[in-house]
A and B are shown apart, each in its own frame.
Chain A
Amino acid sequence: MKVIMSGNEAAAQGAYEAGVAFASAYPGTPSTEILENLAKHKDVLYSEWAPNEKVAVEAAIGASVAGVRSIAAMKHVGLNVAADPVFTFAYTGVTGGMVIVSADDPGMHSSQNEQDNRNYATAARLLMLEPSDSQEAKDFMKLGLELSERFDTPVLLRMTTRVCHSKSLVELGERQEKPIVPYKKNIRKYVATPANAKVMRVKLEERLAAMEAYACQAEINQPEYNDTKIGVITSGIAYQYAREAFGEEASYLKLGMTFPMPMDLLRAFAAKVDKVYVVEEMDPYIENHLKMAGIDCIGKDVIPRYDELNTDIVREAVFGKSADSLTSEKSAVIRPPTLCAGCPHRGFFYALAQKKNVMITGDIGCYTLGSAAPLNAIDTCFCMGGSISTGHGASIALRNGGRDTKVVSVIGDSTFFHSGVTSLMDAVYNKGCNTSVILDNRITGMTGHQQNPGTGYTLMGDPATEVDIPALCRALGMKDENIYIVNPNHLDEVSKALDEAIAKDEPTVIITKWPCVLKKYSTQDKEEFDLSPRRCEVDPDKCRNCKMCVKCGCPAIYSEKDKVSIQAASCTGCGVCAQICPFDAIREVER
């Protein structure tokens, strides 16, 4: 039976069919739906959200060593976090097959950078497969698990946004159960001490040679010869664009397996065609392999090195042809994403924006939108979990440099669990003086509401003991009087806590606690928070059109020249604008 699936759904289906018994991941666009779909098979396989990607990979390694097939999935930047165990696992090899999914985001639809993770395959020496559509996402996942066992190596399944989030038809199959391999102690294989690792390193070269020999004759690396004037070498989604741009005439070498690179195959293909083009997104990865082997080709001389490709871009780059397109003298006003109407982060950021002489270090999540106008309340954003540690370093530098600027670090609940805990440990233990604000909205927001260790539920829907954030802070050495817990929708409360915390010359924590406005509330949420439906409206008799309320950046507030109104359909009655209004012209009404 064929059904339409996204690449992520198909990758999950492949893992299900291949008998995977253990899956772990940290959510991140564009990879999130892989684990969400695996969780539907909880009757036959275990899946979980790990606190971060390193933990996810380590857990999957443990499952592999214990004898079952396992996967770990993450977005591209997640592989940076997970890189440490990955590099050494490539030395030891596997017991049960293991696939690591890296979902890269060319064009940065929802990411802070667009690194090309194919480079990890070369650096860590991981067998790499690159699917170009949903059917291949499923097939390559299954093949990857087989090859992992055959060559005793972890496999990198490298996907990109347009493979993950495009849908096409996929042929479904049955699940093949894989019996667990009986556990046998094998210290020389799995204990990477220098003496053992030196032996492993030599064996790794032998395995790589065997993998390359396989890659040269693998079914997923077969050339398609048509007219031989032009030969195109490509992989992943770029194949689809190249196929349309070069058409039926050209010859193609579509590489499904791109590490180890099948060098003999590349040489043979290049020898049969007059001119070689390499079409790939982002880095000149295939191109560099060709050039190191002395094979002449046209690649990044014409194809862009950054952003996504598409058929158009390839066609224009190679043939100088572009389709006719229309333009208008009018221009559409930009429509950037915003914090939602009723978002609990808004009140906090509004209060924070009023504080003078503060440096604000930020993190990755919906709340990064606090950096946008009119709030402008975040100064830095680098990576998951970095706000508290960068804030710690900045606070010491400013203090020792004789400056009185204070540092506030903001981080979400899921991000805090991801890698903010060790940062806070650093700040407390080493006596920094930044104020860390944990924005606890009771869910992982940006990626579409995944459970995390603070929500009380697991990916498979079972209740769990949630992490007690204030108790965790105390355990890290934070003094009781330096921990503030506030309702982010109450501006006075937030402002007072900020003033007190910022004034102290030691580490402080503010925890803002209110559920995400888009969350499907749990019974516990309903008991803990007053979430009754309400909305706000402007009293036109009292409003003096001063536009102060507009400065909280709420998308429900509509400012025209002569008046301000609140859109009833989108307002949730959080009351932040009503607290800002100097003329008491905004009131709460029943919904």
Chain B
Amino acid sequence: MSEVKNILLVGVGGQGTILASKILTSGLIEAGYEVKMSEIHGMSQRGGSVSTQVRYGEKVYSPIVGRGEADVIVAFEKMEALRWLGYLRPEGKMVINDFEIPSAPILMGQAEYPEGILEDLADKVSILTVKAGDIAAGLGNPKAMNVVLLGALVKAMNVQGVDWHQAIRNNVKKGFEDLNIKAFEAGYAL
């Protein structure tokens, strides 16, 4: 199974991980890979911790990524990077959005948002920290944050032969193609 690559997109319900994984999946398919993608619907979408799993290669069986198996994890939220660390291969890479969304116990003052997450993770694995919200805002729309992160993810995946601009055009709303291509390139250039 060494040729199968495993990608995890993790974040908080409502952050736009689904669109990013849709573009990712469609680009990989166009490039001729077999792809399986798994997402979770229902109760956890109400502000809970969410993950989308993408596996690609010549032949893929299971649609889900096990512990210690992810080649790249992109975390749309900082604490989620910490939560999913155990799923990363020790030599894998993490792309982390430098953005905090406190969870219910933190909002209620019953727990503290963990400090020093980035330093801690940087000690253990290769990380790339991205201020995706700021970059997207700079391009004119903070909502393009997810595609900035996708750009950074694709760079970290080191995958060749995919027409990402076309994949973006195929999957984003009409009129938002140029913005999202710029957002992707900004993430890719980091």
Question: Using a CB–CB distance below 8 Å, which chain A residues touch chain B?
Answer: 4, 29-30, 32, 109-110, 133, 161-162, 165-169, 237, 239-241, 243-244, 247, 310-313, 322-340, 366, 369, 372-374, 446-448, 547, 550, 553-555, 557-561
With a 10 A CB-CB cut-off, give which of B62, B68, B106, B112 has the most chain A CB atoms.
Answer: B62
In the complex, chain A residues whose CB is within 8 Å of the CB of B38: 162, 165-167
CB <8 Å contact, A244 and B62: yes
Chain A contact residues, majority secondary structure: loop
**B39 an interface residue at 8 Å Cβ cutoff?**
yes
Is B124 engaged at the interface, CB distance under 8 Å to the other chain?
yes
A-chain residues with CB within 8 Å of residue B31 when the two chains form the complex: none
- Where the two chains meet, the residues of B that have a C-beta atom closer than 8 Å to any C-beta of A are 1, 12-13, 25-26, 29, 34-49, 60-64, 66-69, 79-80, 82-83, 85-90, 102-109, 111-114, 116-117, 120-121, 124-125
Which B residues lie within 8 Å of A446 (CB)?
Answer: 42-43, 46
A30 and B41 contacting across the interface, CB-CB below 8 Å: yes
Q: Are A165 and B39 in contact (CB under 8 A)?
A: yes
* 30 pairs, CB–CB < 8 Å, chain A vs chain B: A4-B35, A29-B43, A109-B41, A110-B43, A165-B41, A167-B37, A168-B34, A168-B35, A168-B37, A311-B61, A312-B66, A312-B67, A312-B68, A323-B89, A324-B90, A325-B88, A326-B85, A326-B90, A328-B121, A330-B120, A332-B82, A333-B103, A333-B114, A336-B48, A337-B47, A446-B46, A447-B42, A553-B108, A555-B104, A561-B109
Given contacts A325-B88, A333-B79, contact A559 B46 (CB under 8 A): no
Chain B: minimal CB distance from A136 (Å): 13
- Closest A residue to B104 by CB, please name it: A338
The answer on a CB contact under 8 Å between B47 and A326 is no
With beta carbons under 8 angstroms apart, the residue of B34, B41, B109, B116 that contacts A169 is B34
A313 to B62, CA, bound (A): 12
The smallest beta-carbon distance between B68 and chain A, in angstroms, is 3
Q: Is the CB of A326 within 8 A of B64?
A: no
A325 x B107 contact (CB < 8 A): no
Closest B residue to A107 using CB positions? B40
Query: How many Å lie between the Cα of A448 and that of B40 in the bound state?
Result: 13
* Contacts A323-B68, A323-B89, A327-B85; A240 near B47 (Cβ below 8 A): no
Q: Which of A109, A166, A327, A372 contacts B37 (CB 8 A)?
A: A166
Question: Once the chains are docked, how many angstroms separate the CA of A63 from the CA of B36?
Answer: 36
Residues of B contacting A331 with CB < 8 Å? 82, 114
- Measured between beta carbons, the chain A residues less than 8 angstroms from B29 are 4, 169
Q: Which residue of A lies closest to B112 (CB)?
A: A333
Which residues of B lie under 8 Å from residue A448 when comparing CB positions?
Answer: 41
| A residues in contact with B25, CB < 8 Å | 4, 167
For A328, the chain B residues whose CB sits under 8 A away are 82, 85, 120-121, 124
Flag if A324 contacts B68 (CB, 8 Å): yes
Which residues of A have CB within 8 Å of B124?
A: 326, 328
B102 to chain A, nearest CB (A): 6
CB distance from A544 to the nearest CB of B (A): 15
Contact residues in A for B42 (Cβ distance below 8 Å): 29-30, 109-110, 446-447
**With A240-B63, A325-B86 as contacts: A338 and B37 at CB distance below 8 Å:** no
Asked if residues B67 and A558 are in contact (CB atoms below 8 Å), the reply is: no
Given known contacts A330-B117, A366-B46, A335 and B103 CB-to-CB distance under 8 angstroms: yes
B62 to chain A, nearest CB (A): 4
> Do residues B80 and A332 form an inter-chain contact, with CB atoms below 8 A?
yes
Closest to B42 in A: A110
Q: How far is the CB of A561 from chain B (nearest CB, A)?
A: 8
Alpha-carbon gap, A319 to B44, bound state (A): 33
Cβ-neighbour of A110 out of B41, B49, B80, B106 (below 8 A): B41
CA A4 to CA B66, docked complex, whole Å = 22
Closest to B102 in A: A558
Q: What is the minimal beta-carbon distance from A327 to any residue of chain B, in angstroms?
A: 6
Contact A110 B44 (CB under 8 A): yes
Q: If the complex has contacts A244-B61, A310-B64, are A335 and B49 also in contact, measured as CB distance less than 8 A?
A: yes
Contact status of A162 and B90, CB under 8 A, knowing A4-B29, A333-B113, A373-B108: no
Please measure, in the bound complex, the distance between the C-alpha atom of A29 and the C-alpha atom of B41, giving whole angstroms: 7
Q: Are A559 and B66 in contact (CB under 8 A)?
A: no
Given contacts A326-B68, A328-B124, A333-B79, 16 further A-B contacts (CB under 8 A): A30-B41, A133-B63, A166-B38, A244-B1, A311-B61, A323-B66, A324-B89, A328-B85, A332-B79, A333-B111, A336-B104, A337-B43, A337-B45, A338-B47, A446-B46, A550-B109
